[in-house]
Chain A
Amino acid sequence: MSTVEHDGKAASHRAPGELAFKATGVRKYYPGVKALDGVDLEGYAGEVLAICGANGAGKSTFAKLLAGVQTPTDGEIRVTGYPHPVRNAAEAEQAGVLMMHQEPLIIDDFTVGENVWLYKLRQGKDIRPWARKVDTNSEETRRVLREMGLAHLHTNQFARDLGPGQRQMLSLSRALVTEHKIMILDETTASTSEEHFNDILELVDREKKAGTSIIFVSHRLNEVFAMCDRIAVLRNGTLVKVLTAAETNADEITTLMIGQALKALARPAPAQTSGKDPVLSVRDLHGGAAKGVSFDIKPGEIVGMYGLVGSGRSSVARSITGQRKAAAGTITVHGDQVHLNSPRAALHKRIAYVTEDRRLEGFVNDFDNGQNMSLVVLPRMAKVGVVQAGVEKARVRELIREYQVKGGPRTYTSSLSGGNQQKVVVAKWIEAEPDFIVLDEPTKGIDVGARANIYEIIHSLAARGKGVVVVSSEAEELLSLCHRILVMRNGQIAGEFDPEHADTDDLIRTALTHQD
């Protein structure tokens, strides 16, 4: 393919400030849902435009329409330099729109190099089947990987072995080798950790200089402010306001996003842990990335676990909840040593794990809210194996009210927004009345409103004397949510902090510092 530019600047050069795309009166209706209801928005070359909004505000829908993945019900989106409104993904691609999806498009059975050059397999002008394949093991490929902070990967390594952050960065690397005028980052930072964020910033900066119009869809406001020039806020499918980033602040955006002022997150009531026996003790735990981890969790305590991807925090979280087998070490629950070979075994010991990956492990796609919420405790709602439909229905109704889940018991969980899905998953586990619960990235991909709900739930769990561990990549979240924070590095606990006397800087520094 002749379009590969060897200076690596695949973005086309254009004068900054030039109109890149213009959406007029864009509407998108799904059966029963108005995802977008008349949005007018423009993007300019050399500018980063953030699209913010709570879940369900329509920001991802807008991104999909711009990328041609979906077609608007009404209205049109014109890309400068393309003769007519974009109608499908192929046209969007020709018009120069490059979409970086929320879930990185990575083919597991391709090598890292092949994944970098994946879009070269697209049917472009060159449709000769015998056209020469791009050399996926070239110096060029290695340079691309280096620039994305993936220098440690081999081009011949299979993509399936990569972690979520690395997958995201790998998919982003295509921006360096694909010609484009508009780049959409759809919640792209959601699965990357703070260590990769700088690489993304660099990429965006480079793109900006090259005259790309960048659309950053997110609700992580600190990231939005770190990279964006203008911020468009959507709420319930309508454009509330477009602001200049320099002239606003996170509070204002948040208020616009949720339509009301958000009350400051209350600190949890101090845990009365002195003198109490730990609900869970871990001694010298090995397995996965964890190399000798020991800690105690007391009842009523919220313990944060911070660390970079690969630091072993997920291995620990999964080992102490039976999601994976620990290679060595002892785990004691209420003073009894236990062997947690499966989630089922953990459940018997009243241990619950709220997964980081909702879609894969959190809920059943074909189940409605009711069926998902009762999944863990169904045997309790049954007599000799026969489900008592009335009991189940009544309890589910209560749970939906209690956790403020959108939709009724018969609404498919998969059709809900991330925040509501998470509420369903959390409700399912709390229904099992665990003594000890681990929440792995509980607010990942969740909007501010639902976030506050989840925090309240976590606080009330602790207030009822449960031991809670929250694993998170967001230092700020842990500082405001927890009684105690453990920072992991290289498979070990590198430090313990009292949130009252620590700040994000302490946590990040401890997580990053290399051992001698």
Chain B
Amino acid sequence: MTATATTRTEQQQPEPSRTHAVVDWLKRQYALYILIVLLIIASISSKAFLTQTNLTNLLLQMSIIGVVVMAELIVVLTGGIDISVGSALGLAAVLSAGVFSGSSVLLALLVALVVGGAIGMVNGWLVSFRGLEPFIVTLGMLALARGLVYAYGQGIPVIPEDAVTFAQIGQTTLLGIPVLALIWIVVVLLIGFLLTRTVWGRRVYAIGSNKEAARSSGIPVRATLWSVYILAGLLVGLGGWMFICRFASGTAAAGNLMELEAIAAVVIGGARLSGGHGTVFGAVVGTIIFQVIANLLSLLNVSTFLQDAFRGALILIAVTLATVQLKRRRAPSTAPATH
């Protein structure tokens, strides 16, 4: 295209400098500021908050939901939603504890991944190849999986034979960090890498932002969508196995209402429910905010019933803030979409 290169008339806009980019990025981190304020409030209002035991506990609490949040994030980025994550996690948990009598930790992990992956496959197939609404598909799956959890456990917690080893994994720490938290961190890094550095990740954002443009650009939309749901399922399965490690038993309520927390964390982290916009970093911040609040409320001896109300209120506040953010972003700017 040498012909056009020679008739260069329009001015090239200078690219924004690095400092400008950092300032720009900082301007958009609402969730991060909420978190910092929250941490300050927590440290002041409760002496117990900054203790080693509490922080370890907090980390453990975060790891399982943290993995589920990553699953929710990739689905939300495509413009979908997965409200079956909690039930799927419950089913993966009880089956991994119960099948093969829970005699081997690794076998249990395999079972959990197969269960989660299978659920993701069904969800994803219905959404991508049958063109059904993700909400209704996963709503059905929510009821189905939860029903199977009840049916399998008959109301009694499923305790794996090798409960001791499970519990050991749940309690082991490496350099002061619980193994479960390390798993969470690895998952976060993996998803972050996939989303920002790979062709697959770029496709996920493209599909979420503009499915038609993605299709027309030769992106395998349906296959990519399917893979997103399968990956989400695998992560939820992993979460189920982590659940057994932490509690050494699979209860009927395992993962109950986890979809609520996962969706909320993703949205608080700045992801857009219609897809195409959101980051791993934001989702992690969202996860931490949510768990710190829960932790703080327990430390302050707020009744469990009120705790739920607090969390609900937080979601409303956070999404309201997110709309303020969006309005600002609508102005033309040179801001990164995937960082």
Q: Quick one: closest A residue to B15, CB to CB?
A: A408
Contacts of A111 in B (CB 8 A): none
Is A375 touching B212 in the complex (CB atoms < 8 A)? no
Q: Is the CB of B336 within 8 A of A368?
A: yes
User: How many positions in chain B have a CB within 8 Å of any CB in the partner chain?
Assistant: 45
Q: Which of A30, A366, A382 contacts B337 (CB 8 A)?
A: A366
Is A344 within 8 A of B334, CB to CB?
no
* A residues near B218, Cβ cutoff 8 Å: 342-344, 346-347, 376, 432
Whether a CB of chain A sits under 8 angstroms from the CB of B14 is yes
Q: Say whether B154 faces chain A, with CB atoms less than 8 Å apart.
A: no
| A473 within 8 A of partner (CB) | no
Contact with A along B165-202 (1 / 0, CB 8 A): 00000000000000000000000000000000111101
Q: What chain A residues lie within 8 Å of B220 (beta carbons)?
A: 344
A33 touches B332 (CB 8 A): yes
The answer to whether B9 has its CB under 8 Å from any CB of chain A is yes
The segment from A8-16, A330-338, A409-417 found at the interface with B is A409-417
The answer to whether the Cβ of A178 comes within 8 Å of any Cβ in the partner chain is: no
B213 at interface by CB-CB < 8 Å: yes
- Of the candidates B3, B198, B210, the one whose C-beta lies within 8 Å of that of A385 is B198
Question: In the assembled complex, which residues on chain B have CB atoms less than 8 Å from the CB atom of A432?
Answer: 218
Q: How far is the CA of A410 from the CA of B331 in the complex (A)?
A: 15
Contact A402 B5 (CB under 8 A): yes
Which single member of A32, A375, A403 contacts B206 (CB below 8 Å)? A375
- Given A347-B218, A385-B200, A401-B5, do A410 and B10 touch, yes or no (CB 8 Å)? no
Given the interface pairs A409-B15, A410-B336, the reply to whether A30 lies near B199 with Cβ below 8 Å is no
A78 at the interface (CB under 8 A from B): no
B12 contacts chain A at the CB level, 8 A cutoff: yes
Report whether B4 and A456 are in contact in the complex, using a CB–CB cutoff of 8 Å: yes
Choose among A343, A387, A460 the residue that contacts B202 (Cβ–Cβ < 8 A).
A387
Of the candidates B3, B208, B276, B332, which one forms a contact with A31 in the assembled complex, judged by CB atoms under 8 Å apart? Answer: B332
- Chain B residues 314-339 with CB under 8 Å of chain A are 331-338
B47 within 8 A of A: no
Q: Is A365 engaged at the interface, CB distance under 8 Å to the other chain?
A: yes
**B53 interface hit (Cβ, 8 Å):** no
Closest B residue to A376 by beta carbon equals B217
Residue A156 CB within 8 A of the other chain: no
In the complex, whether A102 has a CB less than 8 A from a CB of chain B is: no
Enumerate chain B residues within 8 angstroms of A408, measured Cβ to Cβ. 12-16, 334
Are A406 and B13 in contact, CB atoms less than 8 angstroms apart? yes
Within 8 A of B (CB), among A349-384: 353, 355, 360-368, 371, 375-376, 378-379, 382
- Picked from B15, B210, B216, the residue with its CB within 8 Å of the CB of A343 is B216
Given A364-B206, A453-B4: A410 in contact with B215 (beta carbons within 8 A): no
User: Does chain A have a CB within 8 A of B214?
Assistant: yes
Q: Tell me whether B12 and A361 are in contact (CB under 8 A).
A: no
Q: Given the complex of chains A and B, what is the CA–CA distance between A323 and B216 in angstroms?
A: 7
B313 at the interface (CB under 8 A from A): no
- Pairwise interchain contact B333-A344, C-beta atoms closer than 8 A: no
Contact with B along A31-56 (1 / 0, CB 8 A): 11100000000000000000000000
Which residues of B sit under 8 angstroms from A406, Cβ to Cβ?
A: 10-13
B19 near A: Cβ within 8 Å? Answer: no
Pick from B1, B8, B208, B210: contact of A457, CB under 8 Å: B1
Minimum CB–CB distance for A347 against chain B, Å: 4
* Residues in A neighbouring B209, C-beta threshold 8 A: 364-367
> In whole angstroms, how far apart are the Cα atoms of A400 and B5 in the complex?
10
Binary interface encoding of chain A residues 291-316 relative to chain B, with 1 for a CB under 8 A from any of its CBs, else 0: 00000000000000000000000000
Give the docked Cα–Cα distance between A403 and B14 (Å): 16
- The contact size tier of chain A is 35 or more
Contacting residues, chain B, for A412 (C-beta < 8 A): 332-335, 337
- Contacts A343-B218, A412-B334 given; indicate if A459 touches B200 (C-beta within 8 A): no
B8 — nearest CB in chain A belongs to which residue? A404
In the docked arrangement, what's the CA distance between A174 and B17, Å?
A: 49
CA distance A449 to B12 in the complex (A): 16
> Contact at A410–B202, with CB atoms within 8 Å?
no
B1-42 vs A, CB cutoff 8 Å, 1 = contact: the mask equals: 111110111111111100000000000000000000000000
How far is the CB of A487 from the nearest CB of chain B, in Å? 26
Q: Does B277 contact A (CB under 8 A)?
A: yes
Give the distance in Å from the alpha carbon of A363 to the alpha carbon of B12 in the complex.
21
| Residue in contact with A366 in the complex, picked from B3, B276, B331, CB distance below 8 Å | B276
Contacts of B206 in A (CB 8 A): 364, 367, 371, 375
Other-chain residue from B3, B213, B215, B335 in contact with A460 (beta carbon distance below 8 A)? B3
Please encode chain A, from 148 to 176, with 1 for each CB lying within 8 Å of some chain B CB and 0 for all others. Answer: 00000000000000000000000000000
Q: Is the CB of A428 within 8 A of B217?
A: yes
| A459 and B3 within 8 A (CB) | yes
Say yes or no for B219: interface residue by CB 8 A criterion.
yes
Check: A264 CB closer than 8 A to any chain B CB: no
Known A-B contacts A366-B205, A375-B219, A379-B199; A360 and B10 likewise in contact (beta carbons under 8 Å): no
Across the interface, which residues of A come within 8 angstroms of B12, CB to CB? 400-401, 406, 408
Give CA–CA (A378, B214) in the complex, Å.
12
Q: Which of B274-320 contact A (CB under 8 A)?
A: 276-277
In the complex the two chains form, is B331's CB within 8 Å of A30's CB? yes
A131 on interface, CB distance cutoff 8 Å? no
Structural contact, A460 and B333, CB atoms closer than 8 A:
no
A407 within 8 A of B: yes
Name the CB-closest residue of A to B336: A410
Quote the shortest CB–CB distance from B23 to chain A (angstroms).
Answer: 14
Given A32-B332, A342-B215, A410-B336 in contact, is the A364-B276 Cβ separation under 8 Å? yes
Does any Cβ of B come within 8 Å of A127's Cβ?
no
In whole angstroms, what is the CA distance A408 to B336 when docked? 12
The answer to whether the Cβ of A226 comes within 8 Å of any Cβ in the partner chain is no
Name A414's closest neighbour in chain B (CB-CB): B332
- A387 with B199: CB separation less than 8 A: yes
Assess whether B205 is in contact with A364, with CB atoms less than 8 Å apart. Answer: yes
Q: Complex: how many Å from CA A31 to CA B197?
A: 30
Q: Please, which residues of chain A bring their CB within 8 A of the CB of B1?
A: 402-403, 430, 457, 460
- Please give, as numbers and ranges, the residues of chain B lying within 8 Å of A378 by CB-CB distance: 199, 202-203
Structural contact, A364 and B210, CB atoms closer than 8 A:
yes
Mark contacts of B54-88 with chain A using CB atoms, 8 A cut-off: 1 yes-contact digit, 0 otherwise: 00000000000000000000000000000000000
* Complex alpha-carbon distance, A411 and B217, angstroms: 20
Nearest B residue to A355, CB-CB: B216
A362 touches B215 (CB 8 A): no
With A32-B332, A364-B206: A371-B337 Cβ-Cβ less than 8 Å: yes
Which of B5, B8, B217 contacts A375 (CB under 8 A)?
Answer: B217
Complex CA distance for A375 and B207, rounded to whole angstroms: 11
CB-nearest residue of chain A relative to B214? A364
Can you identify 7 A-B contacts, CB atoms within 8 angstroms? A31-B333, A343-B218, A362-B216, A366-B337, A375-B206, A400-B12, A401-B8
Known A371-B338, A411-B332; 15 more pairs at CB < 8 Å: A31-B332, A342-B215, A364-B209, A366-B205, A366-B277, A367-B206, A368-B337, A376-B217, A378-B199, A382-B198, A406-B11, A412-B332, A449-B9, A456-B3, A456-B4
The 10 closest A-B pairs by CB, nearest first: A415-B332, A347-B218, A366-B209, A408-B15, A366-B276, A344-B218, A361-B216, A364-B209, A364-B210, A31-B331
